[in-house]
Chain A
């Protein structure tokens, strides 16, 4: 019955969950609470305006509590029993194809649950203050709840099509929230752009799911993971590449990266939750979740690594040139997700570190986005860092928490980012020198642009607009900042005793030992040196000079390119959008002129011919008589011809 596996690689771990039993109800509730919140807030209308934000927070905090209960329960189980499933109902069947809504709860989902509901709760609370003066705050919380529910579906689904449901659900929430201030044309355009580019990625997920069905006869993780080692190389690579396309769309990886910077049109909590901590990391989740595909296909992994390297450098370069604090952070997000994708592409050696970095990044980047929001709150919603400066006195708490995030992202020990990024750089060098170099250079550039951001915002001289009085934000906004700062500082604890690696082993398989030619300690020192260099450069070029309030125009080509986001948008505009519009206009002419033209032309030619014939009916009796005579003569001639032939 069984064939020999086509692959020699260590057998990938099969997803083989046991029934969740009584915990299953909690799993359903984890999703159900925010979903219910969204339904009440969005359908309830203005009646719920008064207490809408409270309900929104309550549902997510409820989910957090349940996630913690579930997590500790899982922690108490043996490593082999940490995969649980909760049967729900069959979504659809067709022929032999059956897709269910069954949930899968395993160590990977567990950490995601904590990240989503944990960071989600803090950001919900923060939003109470941040959106206090917005008349549509209730709707904002409805959308946020919708997002949390969809994201939870994404990480709990036990089937690629179920993942697709969450995948598009978060896309929808992202669309609604980017365009939340939709009276601004730029926000509406950015929202549409994000959705459409994500849909390009969805092509990958649709076709990937289709190919998985054709190959395995099912799209559930259980079946696919059990059978993946029997599939051919070509098929696995094709599936891997299609899933990579999906990941590129959702995680803003090259070449589908252009939507992320525009997405900063949304309110800042949205940028923190969706476009930094959770949704944009879904691509990384998808790759790690599909480890039973990627572990077996070297080619697809190489593509993943290449995409990760390109994006991490691109994002870092863009981050260097942006004066808009949120866009600088967005470039940084791109870059950091590039690190995660790179790590995920390393295969069994990197999956755990990708997730580790994802978690720490979720904490410190959310922290910094909320910090940026706090700064904007105090600066009358000005986002231009050239109008900031010397804010550390005016906003001490924001400054302190932001600084923790800053130290974490550039990788200063003992903050979280040091541990997670260091591991990725190490593994990258173990895999390939060039890849490692990319990661290392990226770390240096990261140190530069983050230091620049810090200096422009909190140090240097005041460059405030007239009439702006920076002030510290209310408690409801600073408490979440403190919470996230603690997480950013302490996130490295996950690596104690390689806990995160062991924890994820049931999902991603045994951690492959890397073979590094130098000792890890030397590697860390080199990385720290590069980081220090980046900080120094920033100190010299930004900290020691007067910062002009207007961005200088005469700048090098590199700066111009970085400001233009490395011409990603310009490329899309020139190569896809403009020719596309000409094509569509041409097609409209073709449709009217040719396709419909043939039909209308046939009708018109009949009408034309009959209008000619009609002229014979001229009303003169004599011409009718003549026609009669001619007809009679013809009949006569015909008769003669017949009779005498």
Chain B
């Protein structure tokens, strides 16, 4: 099986997510981009799992999903709280934790 297309797709998705995290201000979008990166790595893991014929990569992918799910729960809650108090979901506005 040729893994190249899957890997390329994974790389593209990861890059998109990465650029999104670096350039976007809206917390929700940044958050989505993080998810995109996680899924890109999941795709790579599953691909290699398939190519190698064992399940270890898939197990790792499950772990990533579980972590992502937990992250969504906590992360969204934080974003909601920030939005409520500051009336804005821009990550640049929440820069009090500096110096």
Q: Is A629 an interface residue (CB 8 A)?
A: yes
Convert B57-99 into 0s and 1s, putting 1 for each residue whose CB lies closer than 8 angstroms to a CB of A. 0000000000000000000000000000000000110111111
Assess the B91–A620 pair: CB atoms within 8 A: yes
Given A629-B18, A629-B22, A622:B99 Cβ within 8 A: no
User: Could you tell me the distance between the alpha carbons of A620 and B93 in the complex, rounded to whole angstroms?
Assistant: 8
Given that A622-B23, A622-B91 are known contacts, is A617 also in contact with B18, CB under 8 Å in the complex? no
The answer to whether A622 touches B95, judged by C-beta atoms less than 8 angstroms apart, is: no
Select B21's contact among A614, A615, A625, beta carbons within 8 Å: A625
Give which listed residue, A618, A622, A625, A626, contacts B98 with CB less than 8 A.
A618
The complex places the Cα of A160 from the Cα of B91 at a distance, in Å, of 87
Contacts A629-B18, A629-B22 given: A618-B95 contact, CB under 8 Å?
Answer: yes
B23 touches A619 (CB 8 A): no
A1 within 8 A of B: no
- Is B30 interfacial (CB 8 A cutoff)? yes
Q: Could you tell me which residues of chain B, from 1 to 55, have a CB within 8 Å of some CB in chain A? A: 18, 21-23, 25, 30
Which residues does chain A contribute within 8 Å of B22, judged by CB atoms? Answer: 622, 625-626, 629
B30–A621 CB distance below 8 A: yes
Closest to B95 in A: A619
Contact across chains for A617 and B98 when beta carbons are under 8 A apart: yes
Chain B residue numbers with a CB within 8 Å of A615 are 99
Q: How far is the CA of A625 from the CA of B21 in the complex (A)?
A: 7
Shortest distance between the CB of B58 and any CB in chain A (Å): 24
Give the interface size class of chain A: 10 to 19
B91 touches A617 (CB 8 A): no
Tell me how far the C-beta of B39 lies from the nearest C-beta in chain A, rounded to whole angstroms: 17
B99 to A620, Cβ gap below 8 A?
no
A-B contact count (CB 8 A): 31
Selected from A619, A622, A625, A626, the residue in CB contact (under 8 A) with B96 is A619
Q: Which residue of A lies closest to B97 (CB)?
A: A619
Whole-angstrom distance from the CB of B79 to the nearest CB of chain A?
12
CA distance A620 to B97 in the complex (A): 9
Most buried by B among A619, A620, A626: A619
Determine how close the nearest CB of chain B comes to the CB of A172; give it in whole angstroms. 62
Distance in angstroms between the alpha carbons of A578 and B53 in the assembled complex: 95
Q: Which residues of B contact A626 (CB under 8 A)?
A: 22
Give the number of chain B interface residues (Cβ < 8 Å).
Answer: 14
Residues of B within 8 A of A619 (CB): 94-99
A620 with B92, Cβ < 8 A, contacts A614-B99, A615-B99 known? yes
Asked whether A620 lies within 8 Å of B95 as measured between CB atoms, the reply is yes
A403 CB to nearest chain B CB (Å): 92
How far, in whole Å, are A626 and B30 apart by their CA atoms in the complex? 13
Compute how far the CA of A626 lies from the CA of B99 in the bound complex, rounded to whole angstroms: 18
Give A620 to B92 CA distance when docked, in angstroms.
Answer: 6
**Assembly CA distance A618 to B97 (angstroms):** 8
Query: What separation, in Å, do the CA atoms of A621 and B91 have in the docked complex?
Result: 7
Q: What is the CB-to-nearest-CB distance from B64 to chain A, in angstroms, rounded to a whole number?
A: 17
A392 to B30, CA, bound (A): 115
* A629 and chain B: residue at smallest CB distance: B18
- CB proximity of A612 to chain B, nearest CB, Å: 12
Give chain A nearest CB distance to B99 CB in angstroms.
5
Bound together, the chains give a CA A629 to CA B17 distance in angstroms of 12
Give the CA-CA distance A620 to B98 in the complex, in Å: 8
Considering the complex, give the chain A residue whose CB is closest to the CB of B18. A629
**List of B residues within 8 angstroms of A629 by Cβ:** 18, 22
In the complex the two chains form, what is the Cα distance from A351 to B95 in whole Å?
95
Q: Beta-carbon contacts of A602-618 to B below 8 Å, as 1s and 0s?
A: 00000000000011011
Chain B contacts of A614 at CB under 8 A?
99
Residues of B within 8 A of A617 (CB): 98-99
Nearest CB in chain B: distance from A624 CB, A: 10
A621 — nearest CB in chain B belongs to which residue?
B91
Once the chains are docked, how many angstroms separate the CA of A403 from the CA of B22? 111
Neighbouring A residues of B21 by C-beta, 8 Å: 622, 625
Expressed in whole angstroms, the Cα–Cα distance for A619 and B97 within the complex equals 5
A622 partner residues in chain B, CB cutoff 8 A: 21-23, 25, 30, 91-92
Residue of B at shortest CB range from A622?
A: B22
- Chain B residue nearest to A615 in the complex (CB): B99
In chain A, what residue has the closest Cβ to B92? Answer: A620
Within 573-631 of A, Cβ neighbours of B (below 8 Å) are at: 614-615, 617-622, 625-626, 629
State how many angstroms separate the Cβ of A579 from the closest Cβ of chain B: 51
Q: Distance (Å) between the CB of A456 and the closest chain B CB?
A: 84
Most chain A CB within a 10 A radius of its CB, from B30, B94, B97, B98: B98
Bound CA–CA A317/B95 (angstroms): 87
Q: What separation, in Å, do the CA atoms of A367 and B21 have in the docked complex? A: 106
- Most central of A615, A617, A620 by chain B CB within 10 Å: A620
Q: Which residue among A617, A622, A626 has the maximum number of chain B CB atoms within 10 Å of its CB?
A: A622
A-B contact pairs, 28 of them (CB 8 A): A614-B99, A615-B99, A617-B98, A617-B99, A618-B95, A618-B98, A618-B99, A619-B94, A619-B95, A619-B96, A619-B97, A619-B98, A620-B91, A620-B95, A621-B30, A621-B91, A621-B94, A622-B21, A622-B23, A622-B25, A622-B30, A622-B91, A622-B92, A625-B21, A625-B22, A626-B22, A629-B18, A629-B22
Q: Kindly list 19 other residue pairs between chains A and B, CB separation below 8 angstroms, not including A620-B95, A622-B21.
A: A614-B99, A617-B98, A617-B99, A618-B95, A618-B98, A618-B99, A619-B95, A619-B96, A619-B97, A619-B98, A621-B91, A622-B23, A622-B25, A622-B30, A622-B92, A625-B21, A626-B22, A629-B18, A629-B22
